[in-house]
Homo-oligomer: A and B are copies of this chain.
Amino acid sequence: MKRPLVFSLDLELPEPTEDDKRADLERVADALGADSLVPTISALRTLPDILRKKGFRISPVFSIHYDSTRLIEASTGSCFALAVDIGTTNIVFELVNMKDPGPSLRFQFKNPQIKYGEDLLSRIQHCMQGGLKELRDSIIAGLNEEIKRAVRQAGISTKEIYAAVFSANTVMSHLLLGLDVSHIPVSPYIPVVSRALFFTTSEVELDIHPDATVYVFPNAGSYVGGDIISGILATGLHRKESPQVLIDVGTNAEIVIGTKDWILVGAGAAGPALEGGILSSGTVAKEGAIYRIEIDGSGDVKYKTIGDSSPLGICGSGVIDLVAELYRVGFIDQRGRFTESAPTVKIDGEKTFVVAKNEKVVIGINEREIENFLRSKAAMFTSLYVLTQSLGIGFNDIERFYIAGALGSGVNLKNAQLLGMLPRLPEDRFQPIGNSSLMGAGMLLRDASLLDEIAYIHSIITYREMNTDNEFMKEFPSARFIPHTNPERLG
């Protein structure tokens, strides 16, 4: 029977008689059909009274906790849970009504650790200087604040949240739990823990139900986090006969190739540019972000913003459009340098192509930023190419490309292919899946049997470091050109 990670069941229990002297808890356990029912002490304390006041018709809350089922509360009217994706830059979560399979409320906020460092390495350094508790406290405080906002919006109380599932990269998972990350950036790159972990609220200090179950996805080493494993779960590639690819671009870019029998992950720093992160005009995909750009030969620019709002900056898909259009109309060359015909202006001493301008901001891109973008796209493409080659297969052997993260929603495939970011394959091979890490977390909430699939994925993953890979080194320079100096590589 498919059971969620946390659930409430309406039980009608037989009342005790001379012939049925089972204890209260045993009555519940038998109805549940769970041998390994582990009650919290507070559930045990309230159970007898609630049972009798409700005439032995109760709706207890249970959660899966490792191999056991926990009894969290003797009876409830509601049952909510959180699926959380902790990114280095952004934290996104869903408040899931476990009693209602409909769509969930989604919330997003900046990772409050950013004030201690934008990237993973600077946060790790902050930890090594004694800042671990600070980093942990900041993320817990941020989560608790946003959870409070979320429950207000949903009209519920924090006590009605009985579980939280966290998917994050290895460093973020460690920082969430207050674990030492100082050995992660130093060879041989050892995390404190890899396995999936269950905790209770008190251990993690979240302001949800005091006995809620907290699950943290396992990692497959310092560079293959729970977010990747959750993303793989979301795609289902670990159940497929023929090779599938998952490309997840967040603050880092990760490439996964796998089937039901093997999964290979390659990772290397590649992301921020693709996420709009290293443009001074960059932004995440939020209201006011420019996500579509068209340029004509005269230099006129048309763009669309999210929410049709006044433009604030350019998000990942906007950057791809921008660079592709600049190339298409001949304003930049193969190396990303502005041509003589490009209508640029100087801003802070750098030739800049302006996309939009209002009283508040000038939104544009300069050569250095284009170069960074091309470096990122080269890293991503080269990782994909090298991994595929190392498996002795070609792009054409790959049944499906799942495009997640910043590239997942709204990316113009034709433009990405024009730039040499993605292989030249028919459009139906590509499937955007948005935030695959969050999706996997939400799936686990709704089906605890996925714990076994997660363990399976965890067991077959192998990792290939791209940044120090010889093949990667050899291929990378050619991929920095638009589309590539060896276009046959593009498939």
Point out residues on A near B: beta carbons under 8 Å: 16-18, 20-26, 29, 36-41, 44-45, 47-49, 52, 66-68, 177-180, 182-183, 187-195, 197-199, 202-204, 219, 221-222
Q: Which of chain B's residues have a CB closer than 8 A to the CB of A38? A: 66, 198
Partner of A202, one of B49, B193, B195, B202: B202
Partner of A204, one of B23, B25, B41: B41
Partner of A192, one of B23, B67, B187, B192: B23
Asked if residues B68 and A190 are in contact (CB atoms below 8 Å), the reply is no
Partner of A197, one of B18, B36, B39: B39
Asked if residues B67 and A24 are in contact (CB atoms below 8 Å), the reply is no
Asked if residues B18 and A190 are in contact (CB atoms below 8 Å), the reply is no
Counting chain B CB atoms within 10 Å of each CB, the highest count among A20, A52, A191 belongs to A191
Q: A16-B188, A36-B66 are in contact. Are A22 and B182 (CB under 8 A)?
A: no
A67–B35 Cα gap in the complex (Å)? 12
Q: A18-B187, A188-B16 are in contact. Are A194 and B23 (CB under 8 A)?
A: yes
Asked if residues A26 and B188 are in contact (CB atoms below 8 Å), the reply is no
Could you name 7 residue pairs across A and B whose Cβ atoms are closer than 8 Å? A21-B188, A21-B222, A23-B194, A26-B195, A44-B179, A48-B192, A202-B202
Asked if residues B23 and A178 are in contact (CB atoms below 8 Å), the reply is no
Q: A45-B179, A48-B182, A182-B48 are in contact. Are A192 and B24 (CB under 8 A)?
A: yes
Asked if residues A178 and B45 are in contact (CB atoms below 8 Å), the reply is yes
Asked if residues A26 and B194 are in contact (CB atoms below 8 Å), the reply is yes
Q: A23-B191, A67-B36, A193-B24 are in contact. Are A48 and B16 (CB under 8 A)?
A: no
Q: Which of chain B's residues have a CB closer than 8 A to the CB of A45? A: 177-180
A182–B219 Cα gap in the complex (Å)? 48
Which chain B residue lies CB-closest to A203?
B41
Q: A66-B38, A221-B21 are in contact. Are A44 and B192 (CB under 8 A)?
A: yes
